[in-house]
Amino acid sequence: MKFRLFGLFALCCAMAINLCANRIQSGYSQTTKSTPVLSKAEQDLLSEINQARAQPQTYATYLEQLKPLFKGKNYTAMGQETLTTQEGWDAVEDAIKFLRGAKPLGPLSASQGLCLAASSHVKEQSASGATGHAGSNNTMIEQRVKPFGSWQGGIGENLTYGNESARERILTWLIDDGVATRGHRKRVMSQDYRVAGISCGPHREYGTMCVLTLAGGFTDFAMAQAPANKSNNSSKSRPATAGTSSTNKNKSPR
């Protein structure tokens, strides 16, 4: 009788261990399934944003190194043609001052729903060659995100056009040339935003575009499906960049 009880106890323990293992595996699978799969360009941009949030002083140093490339409002990087900015070095200096006084922030986590919303905008503008936040039916980020989930806190969007590196894109947003509110800078360096979605793709006029969507939090819809929009990036001989915000629809040069 004693051995039977011991055997029954062992069987129960084995069943409990197996049940726990199945629950852990199930939970892991659900988490993995909802984790967005980013391209290299998208992952590089998210990593660069998070580095800027964690090390604002370092990025202030990067900006300081640009000073020799400015002559008045003209900016000329090595091997590139000259671009005319709206504010010249003043905008860069303003960004440096901001970053020198900024405190390190935690990283943004990738959100599946926000990535899908970003991807839908890339898909549309890749086909049309349009720019700006408004979709063809005048939808903005608040409407585009609804099929994929619900957000908590604030929600915002940054756009960038042109064949640039991840670091060039984040520096463009940090400088925010020509944008009086510095909205792009404030969004990427705000503690109020904790999750993000990123999508990059080809653009008919500028070669490449990237969309960054941000929110305080985001709850994905379980059945949300990604639009089939990924295609190889195209390039042009003269890259151009424009950053736009939900409160300012005008292009801003880097």
The rounded Cα 231 to chain-centroid distance in angstroms is: 18
159-206 pLDDT, tens digit per residue, is 999 999 999 999 999 999 999 999 999 999 999 999 999 999 999 999
Q: Identify the band that residue 222 occupies on the pLDDT scale cut at 50, 70 and 90.
A: low
Q: Is 191 exposed, middle or buried (0-12, 13-18, 19+ CB in 10 A)?
A: exposed
pTM of the model: 0.74
8 A C-beta contact, residue 113 and residue 149:
yes
Which of residues 251 and 220 earns the better pLDDT score? 220
Which of 16-25, 71-80, 86-95, 179-188 has the least mean pLDDT?
Answer: 16-25
Give pLDDT, residue 82: 87
In terms of Cα–Cα distance, which of 216, 247, 244, 229 is closest to 114?
216
8 A C-beta contact, residue 204 and residue 160:
no
Number of H helices and number of E strands within the chain? 8, 7
8 A C-beta contact, residue 48 and residue 173:
no
Amino acid of residue 96: I
Task: Residue 104: count other Cβ atoms within 10 Å of its Cβ.
Answer: 9
8 A C-beta contact, residue 103 and residue 52:
no
Please state, in angstroms and as integers, the Cα–Cα distance from residue 24 to each residue in 19, 31, 37, 168, following that order.
9, 11, 22, 41
Give pLDDT, residue 34: 61
Top mean-pLDDT range of 1-10, 30-39, 58-67, 213-222: 58-67
